[in-house]
């Protein structure tokens, strides 16, 4: 709920009591122009917008605290009044306090961001809501002398959506891991997680979940492989129970000192709150279904990143199939591919180019949405604290649904002060 958001914001002002941290703040003004601000198939409307942003960030890496809390507040106004003026907040917190050194910790995580109200509709004001995911609780880590150890987490988690009431929930989960080091490079473990989910909406079905799986980890140098195999069971209050496999493979390969390849394969159960807590999501913007529904997810992702001569290149391919247990009308297949390259020219000038393609397929009616986008940006660092940015974005959606196509060309300019 909103109390959890307030609590996380309070962390931003509580952490200065811990020595060794770093404060940063930023001020940014960004005017922009769009050829089709409402992203409609017909009657396109041009619009000029003004965005003002204030950012505050605290980070620390010490024996007492490890983590970062950042808060950004944005006000956006529309000159022609196509949309009403808006105020958005973004919070990202990952903080771990050490209560007993190397043994007992307290963890706080928070994600306050924007998600769609209706996932099939375009991503524009009026179809955007703020969502928040807050979790906190203790973590115990203990190693015995023979290479055996335990890791345990007890968490309270709260999910909140500004409009979609059925997303609001209180969750408790207990996760335990018993691991054994077979060698310097190899570790095996048994993992058990018990979760209890209570939704505040009467239309949502509360459930209890049990996950049990074994894991094998291999790490050598900067490359590694993790394999998980087990099963999950979900007991709903009203619907039939469900059970299925838990399979996950994560591989990291450092091809060279500057190139890395990552592969992720996953099959198991998930829901929107779980997916939004993931550290990285390559699925298309606006593809999330903000609801209480549980689904089976089959996913594959490949990420390649390389660096050379002040340049970086990152390529991502992601496929995800979501099959909902209690609402087949939400089933969807998602594919996303993106390529982003940046290049620096000395210490003050850098450029960024990118392109992406995504496809969303909805099984209930066979609808298919293809989204093409590209961008180019120029960044100039005038002084240590002052910088400028120019950017142009182009986006087009081709859909099999009537009146769902659109194209948009947008130009952005920004001046940013930070210290």
308 vs 394 pLDDT, higher one: 394
**pLDDT band per the 50, 70, 90 thresholds, residue 281:** very low
The full set of domains in the chain, from first to last, is 2-418 (2.40.170)
Q: How far apart are CA 169 and CA 173, in angstroms?
A: 13
Q: Which DSSP string do the residues of 82-93 spell out, in sequence order?
A: SS--EEEEEEEE
pLDDT at 13 over 80: no
**pLDDT band per the 50, 70, 90 thresholds, residue 280:** very low
Q: Look up the pTM and report it.
A: 0.89
284 vs 198 pLDDT, higher one: 198
3-state SS string for 367-418: EEEEEEEEEEEEEEECCCCEEEEEEEEEEEEEECCCCCCEEEEEEEEEEEEE
**pLDDT band per the 50, 70, 90 thresholds, residue 1:** low
Question: What is the CB neighbour count within 10 angstroms for residue 284?
Answer: 23
pLDDT of residue 11: 56
Query: 309: number of CA atoms within 13 Å, CB side?
Result: 1
pLDDT at 10 over 70: no
pLDDT at 279 over 50: no
The alpha carbon of 72 is separated from its chain's Cα centroid by a whole number of angstroms, namely: 16
Task: Among 15-24, 56-65, 319-328, name the one with the lowest average pLDDT.
Answer: 15-24
Residue 163 falls in which region: left (phi positive, over 0), alpha (psi -120 to 50) or beta:
alpha
- In the three-class reduction of DSSP (H, G, I as helix; E, B as strand; rest coil), residue 4 is classed as helix
Question: What is the CB neighbour count within 10 angstroms for residue 6?
Answer: 9
pLDDT at 14 over 90: no
Mean pLDDT value across residues 296-316: 94
pLDDT at 284 over 70: no
The alpha carbon of 145 is separated from its chain's Cα centroid by a whole number of angstroms, namely: 38
pLDDT of residue 282: 45
pLDDT of residue 278: 64
Contact of 297 with 268, CB cutoff 8 Å: yes
Residue 183 token pair: 């060698």
Residue 202 token pair: 């009467």
Question: pLDDT digit string (tens) for 316-345?
Answer: 999 999 999 988 889 999 999 999 999 999
Mean pLDDT value across residues 90-119: 93
pLDDT at 125 over 60: yes
pLDDT of residue 63: 87
Mean pLDDT value across residues 157-175: 95
């Amino acid at each position: 709920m909103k109390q959890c958001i307030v609590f996380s914001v309070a962390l931003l002002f509580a952490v200065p009591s811990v020595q060794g941290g770093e404060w940063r703040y930023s001020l940014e003004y960004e005017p922009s122009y769009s050829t089709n601000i409402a992203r409609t198939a017909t009657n396109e409307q041009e619009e000029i917008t003004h965005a003002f942003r204030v950012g505050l960030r605290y980070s620390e890496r010490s024996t007492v605290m490890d983590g970062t809390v950042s808060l950004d507040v944005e006000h956006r106004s529309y000159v022609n009044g196509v949309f009403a003026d808006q105020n958005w907040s973004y919070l990202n917190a990952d903080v771990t306090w050490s209560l007993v050194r190397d043994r007992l910790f307290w963890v706080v995580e928070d994600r306050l961001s924007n998600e769609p109200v209706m996932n099939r509709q375009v991503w524009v004001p009026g179809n955007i809501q703020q969502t928040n995911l807050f979790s906190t609780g203790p973590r115990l880590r203990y190693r015995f002398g023979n290479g055996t150890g335990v890791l345990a987490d007890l968490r309270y988690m709260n999910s909140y959506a500004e409009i979609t009431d059925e997303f609001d929930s209180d969750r408790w989960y207990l996760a335990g891991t018993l691991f054994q080091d077979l060698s310097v490079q190899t570790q095996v473990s048994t993992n058990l997680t018990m979760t209890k989910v209570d939704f505040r909406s009467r239309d949502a079905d509360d459930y209890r979940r049990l996950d049990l799986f074994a894991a094998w980890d291999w790490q050598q140098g900067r490359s590694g492989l993790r394999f998980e195999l087990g099963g999950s069971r979900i007991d709903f209050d009203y619907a039939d129970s469900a059970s299925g496999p838990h399979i996950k493979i994560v591989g990291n390969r450092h091809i060279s000192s500057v190139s890395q390849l990552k592969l992720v394969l996953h099959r198991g159960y998930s829901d929107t709150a779980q997916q939004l807590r993931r550290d990285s999501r390559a699925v298309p913007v606006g593809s999330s279904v903000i609801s209480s529904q549980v689904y089976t997810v089959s996913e594959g992702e490949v990420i390649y990143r390389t660096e050379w001569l002040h340049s970086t290149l990152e390529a991502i391919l992601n496929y995800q199939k979501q099959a909902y247990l209690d609402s087949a009308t939400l089933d969807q297949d998602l594919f996303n591919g993106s390529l982003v390259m940046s290049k620096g020219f000395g210490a003050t000038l850098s450029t960024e180019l990118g392109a992406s393609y995504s496809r969303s397929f909805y099984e209930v009616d066979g609808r298919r949405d293809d989204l093409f986008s590209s961008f180019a940006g120029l960044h100039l660092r005038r002084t240590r604290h002052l910088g400028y940015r120019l950017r142009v974005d182009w986006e087009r959606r081709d859909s099999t649904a009537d009146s769902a196509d659109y194209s948009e060309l947008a130009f952005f300019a920004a001046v940013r002060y930070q210290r």
